[in-house]
């Protein structure tokens, strides 16, 4: 038997050969930009078919040089980036990719947390750097009538008021913040001392939110005629006057944002805002914050405020589409929609202020009572 001895292939050359064959099968486009696959070189397929060892004894330097050039060819940039990303730890990728996104989200979360913490504060005392010391006390005697207006047969020529007689239900004592908003408190004291509140009615009752009085208009209809002692109020245009919130039940504020008076009346040069509201509880009314000027709180008589809040009121009908029609009318600019909305919450029983008085420090009373 004849034996043929062959020279073993250089192991370094064998390694380069195998690597070149594999890279030729998966390499990117000829341009080297990784935009798409390219056909497998002819010499690579031929080599694979000839010998599993990548290089046969019949191949010469030419085939070896071709394969070595293919091994050292530049790799695709996109393939390099993908390999680098795979090699990075997950924490590094999260910090690099999600870091800018979280930097935008964190301020919004912090603001929401700060607002939620503010909403949990139980009272208005000391809020916004305001001095909420009680400087004055005022008492209002409240009554409720069986109807909103006198019946036709009960009215007579020359009646000064068509508001029916009301049965007293109690008295509400209000403490005023004369240091925080002195002009607003001064005007409210002038209104009480004038006696013009006596015989007027609460114009709006929203259970769970507030009751409202002091609406201007004809006293015959239960509205308030503002006396000349009420002066222009510069605090309605000062941001500091709106800092105190409506967080506690019994908060008393000047109703500017919730004003239900006729727009034509508010546009008059001699107009003086005196309409006020009292929050009923049990929870806060944050939507009123920044709209009205808080100038006091109820010291006694929250049970009376609760009775007023239970009075039935006018509102959108629970049956039908009255609310939807009102919204449609408002969208197309119909003024009647706003007129109807101003009547929402109007009591169906007259809630009347039967007496008003300013309480002094020594217990004396400057009483202002009158007949309807």
pLDDT in tens, 316-342: 665 556 667 667 766 777 666 666 666
Find which of 36-40, 47-51, 261-265 is predicted with most confidence, using mean pLDDT: 261-265
If one compares 369 and 187, the residue with the highest pLDDT of the two is: 187
Q: What is the pLDDT, as a whole number, of residue 233?
A: 96
pLDDT value at position 94?
Answer: 45
What's the pLDDT band for 130 if we cut at 50, 70, 90?
confident
Place of tokens 């690597």: 19
Average pLDDT estimate for 9-36: 46
Instruction: Give the model's pLDDT for residue 334.
Output: 67
Rounded alpha-carbon distances, angstroms, from residue 193 to 131, 174, 226, 361: 24, 14, 12, 16
> pTM, whole model, 2 decimals?
0.62
At 30, is the pLDDT very low, low, confident or very high (cuts 50, 70, 90)? Answer: very low
Give tens-digit pLDDT for 47-62.
444 444 444 444 455 4
CB 323 within 8 A of CB 182: no
CA-to-CA separations, 322 to 313, 327, 334, in angstroms, rounded: 16, 9, 14
67 or 250, greater pLDDT: 250
Indicate whether 95 pLDDT > 50: no
């Amino acid at each position: 038997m004849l034996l043929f001895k062959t020279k073993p292939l250089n192991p370094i050359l064998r390694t380069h050969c195998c690597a070149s064959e594999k890279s030729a099968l998966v390499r990117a486009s000829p341009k080297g930009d990784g935009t798409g696959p390219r056909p497998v070189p002819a010499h690579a397929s031929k080599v694979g078919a000839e010998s599993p060892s990548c290089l046969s004894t019949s191949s010469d330097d030419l085939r070896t040089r071709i394969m070595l050039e293919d091994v050292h060819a530049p790799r695709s940039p996109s393939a390099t980036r993908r390999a680098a990303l795979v090699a990075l730890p997950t924490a590094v990728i999260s910090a690099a990719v999600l870091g800018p996104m979280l930097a935008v989200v964190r301020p919004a979360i912090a603001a929401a947390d700060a607002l939620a913490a503010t909403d949990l504060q139980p009272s208005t005392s000391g809020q916004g750097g305001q001095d909420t010391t009680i400087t004055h006390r005022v008492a209002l005697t409240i009554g409720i009538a069986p109807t909103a207006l006198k019946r036709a047969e009960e009215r007579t020529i020359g009646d000064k008021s068509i508001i029916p007689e009301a049965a007293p239900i109690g008295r509400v004592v209000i403490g005023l913040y004369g240091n925080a908003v002195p002009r607003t408190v001064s005007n409210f004291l002038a209104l009480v001392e004038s006696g013009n509140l006596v015989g007027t009615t609460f114009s709006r009752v929203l259970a769970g939110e507030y009751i409202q009085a002091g609406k201007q208009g004809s006293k015959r209809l239960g509205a308030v005629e503002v006396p000349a002692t009420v002066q222009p109020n510069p605090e309605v245009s000062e941001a500091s006057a709106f800092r105190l919130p409506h967080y506690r039940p019994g908060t008393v504020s000047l109703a500017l944002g919730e004003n239900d008076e006729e727009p034509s009346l508010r546009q008059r040069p001699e107009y003086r805002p005196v309409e006020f509201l009292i929050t009923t509880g049990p929870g806060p009314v944050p939507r009123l914050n920044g709209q009205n000027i808080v100038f006091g709180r109820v010291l006694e008589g929250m049970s009376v405020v609760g009775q007023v809040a239970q009075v039935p009121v006018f509102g959108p009908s629970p049956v039908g589409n009255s609310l939807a029609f009102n919204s449609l009318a408002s969208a197309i600019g119909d003024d009647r929609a706003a007129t109807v909305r101003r009547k929402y919450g109007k009591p169906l029983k007259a809630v009347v202020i039967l007496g008003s008085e300013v309480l002094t420090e020594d217990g004396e009373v400057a009483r202002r009572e009158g007949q309807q």
